[in-house]
Amino acid sequence: MQVTVENVSELNRRMTVTVEDVNIEQATQERLKAIRPSIKMAGFRPGKVPLSMVARTHGSAARREIIDAVVQQNIREAFTQENVNPASPPNIVEMKEDGGNFIFSMEYEVFPELDSVKLDGITVEKVTAEVTDEDVDKMLETLREQRMSWEPLKRAAKEEDGVTIDFVGSIDGVEFPGGSGQDVLVEIGNGSMLPEFEQQLVGVKAGQETTIELTFPEDYRAEHLRGKQASFAITVKSVAKKKLPKLDKEFAEMCGVDGGIAALKKEVRANMERELRTALKASNKRKVMDAILSNNELTLPEGPIQREAEFLMEQGKNNLRQQGVNVEGIPFEVEAFKDNARRRVALSVLIGKLVSDNKITPDEASVKAEIDIIAANYEDPEDVHNYYNNNQERLAEIQMMVVEDKVVEWIYDHVKVTESTSNFSEVMNSAAA
């Protein structure tokens, strides 16, 4: 096999492969003889169809099959011989027979060849944070809020009370779509309704009928209501105040924890520390990756970007499907995913170079530690370990995560790092955004 490679452009190559001593015609005839016994044709017993008729009906397909086998086998051998790792599947542009030789040419993309990843002048911020007793107390209050109930009142409504109402909205005496509701619980001051609406519920009592007048803001989400004056006929069904559960043994059990409040606090802190560790790692990693991206300008092959964009689009669709959204009517455009795809491809090139140059590998202890973190969220951690250890594809994902973490640590050791402290709320709010 003879191979020549031409540079078509910076990242495009044309490879011509000459396969010597291959007789396509002879191989095709042998293939036809092999399939002849299985060919059925009217007027002939099975296996007795003349070879000439088999060639007439199946010759073209057999020839394509032989050529395809020759091409695929020699593509692999040619790439191995020339040490080529194509960035996109090759496109066959020419095939011909020349005496006893079969010659084909293909074009493909390659990834950019980097001498090194440039780190000069990079400064990255590394944020640290801890879970404090105050953070744990706030989380316990959140848990209480999630499990609170409403206690009916005879008095007039005040701020933070819950008022259940029926209402009918009208503009110039005409009811408007979306302006009515029944048994709607309005918590005064929490912003679920317009502030002007909520404030006029202060002082109402159960059984009372009243009218609320307001003007919709000029930036109201419903365009047809912007700036309009509306009147709402209100019937107050009930007034109630929040009743939060006590922080006691019963509350801990309600949260699925035995051992009382001390055990609950310990469990809550452990969960918060896991969440914080994950959020900090992701945030700091993103800053490191942003830094090396901005410091290394790359020309990238379009094939991998297109494939990555298509993958991200399908991933987005699947995420919506899992939320119960019918995606069939949503006009997805692969171009909308190209920027993120380009970033991911660029990072894969840069990380791959750092991994290769510095022989960074996922050690067993680090992989186990990463699985431990995941397993801590499940009732039976051993099942999680078995799942990853018995599934090579999933285990490879964890190993890649470990490699990326090690790359980040390696970069920290080779650039200027500024450290700053934050708190649990800031880190988690930033992660959610």
Give the model's confidence band at 221: pLDDT under 50 very low, under 70 low, under 90 confident, else very high. Answer: confident
pLDDT tens digits along 290-342: 999 999 999 999 999 999 999 999 999 999 889 888 888 788 999 999 999 99
Question: 289: domain CATH number?
Answer: 1.10.3120.10
Residues 265 and 397 in one domain: yes
Residues 397 and 298 in one domain: yes
Sheet holding 101-109, edge to edge: 2-7, 12-19, 101-109, 91-98
**Domain limits at 232?**
149-243
Distance CA 200, CA 213 (A): 9
Please check whether residue 188 lies inside any domain of the structure: yes
More confident residue, 395 or 22: 395
Please check whether residue 140 lies inside any domain of the structure: no
How many structural domains is the chain composed of? 3
pLDDT at 179: 92
Closest CA to 110 of 311, 352, 296, 303: 303
pLDDT tens digits along 145-174: 999 999 999 999 999 999 999 999 999 999
pLDDT at 148: 92
pLDDT at 57: 84
Question: 201: domain CATH number?
Answer: 3.10.50.40
Residues 8 and 79 in one domain: yes
Question: 44: domain CATH number?
Answer: 3.30.70.1050
Residues 153 and 26 in one domain: no
Residues 411 and 310 in one domain: yes
pLDDT tens digits along 271-299: 999 999 999 999 999 999 999 999 999 99
Residue 433 has pLDDT above 80, yes or no: no
Please check whether residue 204 lies inside any domain of the structure: yes
State which amino acid sits at residue 416.
K
Residues 104 and 180 in one domain: no
Distance CA 144, CA 209 (A): 33
Residues 105 and 127 in one domain: no
More confident residue, 121 or 432: 121
Q: Cite the beta strand spans of 99-137 per DSSP E.
A: 101-109, 123-128
CA distance from start to end of the chain = 56
13: Cα within 13 Å, side-chain hemisphere:
20
Give the model's confidence band at 376: pLDDT under 50 very low, under 70 low, under 90 confident, else very high. Answer: confident
Give the model's confidence band at 418: pLDDT under 50 very low, under 70 low, under 90 confident, else very high. Answer: very high
Residue 64 has pLDDT above 80, yes or no: yes
pLDDT at 59: 86
Closest CA to 91 of 76, 74, 108, 69: 108
pLDDT tens digits along 16-46: 999 988 888 888 888 888 888 888 888 787 7
Structure token pair of residue 364: 């067993």
Please check whether residue 141 lies inside any domain of the structure: no
